[in-house]
Amino acid sequence: MQINFADEIFDVVPAYQILGAMHTAIRQHHAVLVDPGGPGYTKWVAICSSQLGDSDISYLISITLISSIFVDSQRYVEVVSTPSSLAQITFTELTESILRSFHIYVENGRADKRFIYALLTPELRRDLKEQEKIGAVTFESSGGITELARKIVDDDSARTKLSLRAFALFDSDALSPGVPSRDAKDAQRACKSVGVPFYCLERRAIENYIPENALSAYASTSNNAQTRINRVRIARAFGRLSVEQQSHFHMKDGFGAPHGQLYDDIAEQDRETLMTGFGSHLSSCYDEGGIANRACLETSTGWAELQKVIGSLMEVL
């Protein structure tokens, strides 16, 4: 996030409080912006200089050179005395809301968090983990898409400036391309109603982005011989589906879950094989060090969209 301290704020907030806020912001990888020639900032530096050592003074001078590790961040706020727009906040709102935590809303806290981490470069993964460790970023598990929509609306009432410190990611549950489920549409409406940025996956769910080679590897991991045989048969039948069919197949439950007309032309033998799907633990492919890591995902047919997913998150962090 880009946090611009308006020059006037240096005249109305105690110098040590501003310094503390800047330190927190930089620790959280926000970009701190000031007007280095502004009279308020110049006076503030002089006040701090009379109370701080040389190393601290150098730190102050270099503040404008600090940039966010999340370099694609498009979030911008200006800290002012009296806000007159949505992009302006008070110093109190900065310290008690913006710098408190950034919330990533997901349906399943464990599986969806692993999915997001699997998409990141090693550098971004390391820095996001650091932010999560210090509480600057939290993954908000909702227990399903219906609850996610409700939770975002409820939290908007309870959390100040939520639209400036939140992002939502959820499945489309789409049975065919471009037709998200009713619940997914409700989640989109909920996010729009409170101004929370979001990304609704184009494919049915996060498991639909696991490449075929990773699915084949997953099929061979079970300690049970019969389970391995069944999974290999399912993986082979799945491989005979078109990309569109693979994108909207229910990966966990197979044809035991609802499906649309997209699958009317598949062979009856494959339909029978795919009745059970890959099971409820398929998302473990996204575990750290797991089968569906970033290098693997870069080879998948869904990589172009996955880049959009991560880009949408980086734009608001």
Q: How far is CA 9 from CA 35, 49, 59, 90, 128, in A?
A: 11, 18, 19, 9, 30
244 touches 177 (CB < 8 A) = yes
Query: pLDDT (tens digit, 9 = 90+) per residue, 115-137?
Result: 999 999 999 999 899 999 999 99
Given a cut of 70, the residues of the chain with pLDDT beneath it are: 53-72
Question: What residues contact 228, with CB distance under 8 A and at least 6 apart?
Answer: 219, 220, 221, 222
HEC profile of the chain? CEEEECCCHHHHCCHHHHHHHHHHHHHCCCEEECCCCCHHHHHHHHHHHCCCCHHHHHHHHCHHHCCCCCCCCCCEEEECCCCCCCCEECHHHHHHHHCCCEEEEECCHHHHHHHHHHHCCHHHHHHHHHHHHCCCEEEEECCCHHHHHHHHHHHHHHCCCHHHCEEEEECCCCCCCCCCCHHHHHHHHHHHHHCCCEEECCCCCHHHHCCHHHHHHHHCCCCCHHHHHHHHHHHHHHHCCCHHHHHHCCCCCHHHCCCCHHHCCCCHHHHHHCCCCCCCCHHHHHCCCCCCCHHHHCCCCCHHHHHHHHHHHHCCC
The residue count for the chain: 317
Going by their DSSP bridges, the two strands 166-170 and 198-200 should be labelled as parallel
pLDDT at residue 190, as a whole number: 97
pLDDT in the model for residue 23: 86
Residues 6+ apart with CB under 8 A from 142: 105, 106, 107, 148, 151
Residue 54 is predicted with a pLDDT of: 62
Q: Do 149 and 41 form a contact (C-beta atoms < 8 A)?
A: no
Q: Which tens digit of pLDDT belongs to each residue from 9-37?
A: 999 999 889 988 998 888 888 888 899 89
Longest alpha-carbon distance in the chain: 82
Q: What is the pLDDT of residue 166?
A: 96
pLDDT of the residue at 221: 84
Q: What is the pLDDT of residue 30?
A: 86
- Residue 285 and residue 199 in contact, taking contact as beta carbons nearer than 8 Å: no
Q: Which long-range contacts (CB under 8 A, 24 or more apart) does 45-52 make?
A: 47/15, 48/15, 48/19, 51/15
Is 0.85 topped by the overall pTM?
Answer: yes
